[in-house]
A and B are shown apart, each in its own frame.
Chain A
Amino acid sequence: MLQRTLSKSNKTDLYLDLVELASGLILVGFLWTHMLFVATILISPETFNSLSEFLDTYYLSYIGIPFVVVVALMHFVIAGRRIPTRMQEQRIIWQHAKMLRHTDTWTWVFQAITGMAILVLASIHVWLVVTGWPIRDFTSAQRMEAFWWFYLVLLLVGEYHAGFGIYRQFVKWGWFPRKPISYVSKAITAVILVLGLAAMVVFVQLGGTL
Chain B
Amino acid sequence: MADRELTFEIFRYNPAKPEIKPRMQTYKLKETTGMTIFVALNMIREEQDPSLMFDFVCRAAICGSCAMIINGRPRLACKTLTSTLPRTIKLFPLPVFKLIGDLSVDTGTWFRHLSIRTESWVHTSKTFDPTKEEERMDNKIALEIYEAERCIECGCCIAGCATANIRDEFLGAAGINRVARFMVDPRDERTPEEYFEVVGSEEGAFGCMGLMACDDNCPMELPLQMQLAFVRRKIASIGLGIKQEKKIKMGIG
Q: Which A residues are within 8 Å of any B CB, using their own CB?
A: 10-11, 13-14, 16-18, 82, 84, 89, 92-93, 96-97, 99-102, 104-105, 108, 168-169, 171-175, 177-178
- 16 additional A-B residue pairs with CB within 8 Å, beyond A14-B200, A104-B210: A14-B239, A14-B240, A92-B165, A92-B166, A93-B166, A96-B162, A99-B92, A102-B211, A104-B211, A104-B212, A105-B211, A108-B210, A168-B210, A172-B229, A172-B232, A174-B228
Output the least CB separation between B94 and chain A (Å).
Answer: 11
Whether A171 contacts B210 in the complex (CB less than 8 A), given A10-B196, A84-B166, comes out as yes
In the assembled complex, B160 has its CB within 8 A of some CB on chain A: yes
Q: A100 near B166 (CB under 8 angstroms)? A: no
Looking at chain B, what size class is its interface with the partner chain? 35 or more
Q: Does B99 contact A (CB under 8 A)?
A: no
For the complex, give the distance between the alpha carbons of A168 and B196 in Å: 23
Residues of B within 8 Å of A82, CB to CB, are: 209
User: Closest CB-CB distance, A11 to chain B, in whole Å?
Assistant: 6
**A17 CA to B196 CA in the complex, in Å?**
15
- The interface residues of chain B lying within 8 Å CB-to-CB of A168 are 209-210
A101, chain B: closest CB distance, angstroms: 6
Known: A96-B95, A105-B162. A17 touches B213 (CB 8 A): no
A172-B200 contact, Cβ under 8 Å, with A84-B166, A89-B166, A108-B162: no
Closest Cβ of chain B to A96, distance in Å, is: 5
Q: Measured between C-beta atoms, what is the minimum distance from B15 to chain A in Å?
A: 19
A10 to B205, CA, bound (A): 13
Residues of A within 8 A of B196 (CB): 10
Please determine whether A172 and B239 come into contact, CB atoms closer than 8 angstroms: no
